Amino acid sequence: MQQIIECVPNFSEGNDLNIIKQITDQIESVEGVRLLNVDPGKATNRTVVTLVGNPEAVIEAAFLAIKKAGELIDMSKHKGEHPRMGATDVCPLIPIANISMEETAKFAQQLAERVGNELQIPVYLYEDAQPDKSRSNLSVIRAGEYEGFFKKIKEPEWKPDFGPAEFDTKRGGTVIGARDFLVAYNINLNTTSTRRANAIAFDVREAGRNVEENGKKVNKPGTLKSVKAIGWYIEEYGVAQISMNLTNINITPVHIAFDEVCKKADARGVRVTGSELVGLVPLKSLTDAGKYFLKKQKRSVGVAEKELIKIAVKSMGLDELGPFKPEERIIEYLLKSPVDSKLVNMTLSDFADETSSESPAPGGGSISAYIGSLGIALATMVANLSSHKRGWDDRWEEFSNWAEKGEQFKTELVNLVDADTKAFNKIMEAFSLPKSTDDEKTIRTNAIQEATKFAIEIPYKVMQVTYDSMEVIKAMAEIGNPNSVSDAGVGALCARSAVMGAFMNVRINTTDYNDKNFVAEILKSGKEIENKTIALESEILKIVDGKLGN
């Protein structure tokens, strides 16, 4: 699974669009990065830029942007309402998908070190990237701002983490760190009263409210951690809202915030009618919400990703004030390239036509991955049917867990359908490289070998995932809804075919790979997986035959 981080650098220029464009051009020059938003502010004289991508690409794009900002922005002439200390004032990295905060913090430290060493800009780490928690708060670091840092930087306790301990008159200083993803989230109420909305906001926000006890004012915290909230009236919609910032969605995710506001609103005689997400969200925020609401209904969570999103949208009324389009609001979907899912987005007939055409791809590897996905899809279906079977209500969670596991295998195999064709195309691209000079020949040979290794590893991955998925298939043959045991049997047949087909692709591609030790190891391992798969298929079919009884 691809690691994705978000980066939100703030540049001290909000009026000159030409300067802003030159900075964002640097970001867009880096492959593997997508520029999602550019938000200039005239009063603040500051532009907030949002980009996402794989970590290595993001820190490269951020470095180039920081470098360009330092060349174009003169802090000695800067005026603006927002606190600032440098041309690139702050640059946070935020984990989005398949990456921990600890890993993200290390990337922030790498970026900070490079900026300090190569650009000679004083850099301070903040939030999770800063080991010294006495100087991890952004507002504390930035206190004194640009004008005050000429003196502050000379104090021993404010020596930069990277770069010179001399304040740069033109570029100023930069703060680089890692923080949690912040979600701006508004919950709609069936009232026009700002006072009532505020009362609910104070009930839930972490800061709570001040109350009087025994003649003294004391703070009574709200019920939700890592949540800021106020109530306001939106004239455009004619309703009051709870406006929330969820500053750590790992602590308080969107669905928990929604449910808690529903409870507090109900206690005050107010109803929640829906909600709206402001800006972009990680995919996990919505899939987790979908699973949460399904579990409340005691329904299986092992359903397709798009179904989980649909349930989340309907459960929280995210489409009340306007259409909610996942492809425009989910970060991972915005990063998707049409090329990476060309085959799986085809109709069944188009996929068959593409396979039968004179084009050599998709070939046996992609077909094997697809067969494997169908095999585990059948087992997942059996798990879902079993979870909802009348009279088995006390076992819904057991089968839901099996269905969820099956859905994960299915998703991985579906992704491998296009990955195998992409691997083949890489080989074709490598063979098309020029070979006129010795250097070109060397580059071409290395590219062919690298592409060939990739073309071996993808079908081998198909073998591994498919074999692992047979645990679910076997379980459904043994304990699943007996009316669907034949489906589990067909799933086993598909899995066996997928593994054997993928192994053929491994074998044919190893003939052109020069690392014979690697080839020997992967062929040995592949044969072991094939043998175990055939044996497991035989076990499953015996179970199925025994239950069919004819």
Residues identified as active-site: 82, 420
C-alpha–C-alpha distance, residues 218 and 207, integer Å: 12
Euclidean distance between the first and final Cα of the chain, in Å?
A: 44
Categorise residue 220: left if φ over 0, alpha if ψ from -120 to 50, beta otherwise: beta
Look up residue 514 and give its amino acid.
N
Q: How far apart are CA 341 and CA 414, in angstroms?
A: 9
Give the integer Cα–Cα distance in Å for 333 and 34.
11
- Cα–Cα distance for residue pair 465/416, rounded to 1 Å: 10
Instruction: Please report where in the chains the tokens 């808690």 appear, as a residue.
Output: 260
Question: Measured between alpha carbons, how far is 343 from 362 in angstroms, rounded to an integer?
Answer: 8
Which residues, including other chains, have CB under 8 Å from residue 133's CB and lie 6 or more apart? none
Distance CA 477, CA 492 (A): 9
Beta bridge partners of 97: 4
Residues whose CB is less than 8 angstroms from the CB of residue 542 and which lie 6 or more positions away in sequence, other chains included: none
Helix or strand holding residue 220 (H, E): strand 216-220
- Token match 């010294």: residue? 132
Judged by DSSP in three states, 389 sits in coil
Quote the tokens at residue 334. 């915005």
Which tokens belong to 487? 């489906």
3-state secondary structure of 241: strand
Residues 155 and 464: their CA atoms lie apart, in Å, by: 57
Rounded distance between C-alpha atoms, residue 512 and residue 452, angstroms:
7
Instruction: Determine the Cα–Cα distance for residues 24 and 9; give it in Å rounded to an integer.
Output: 11
Bridge pairing between strands 46-53 and 183-189: unpaired
Q: How far apart are CA 88 and CA 543, in angstroms?
A: 65
Structure tokens belonging to residue 90: 């702050």
Per the listing, tokens 């995210």 go with 318
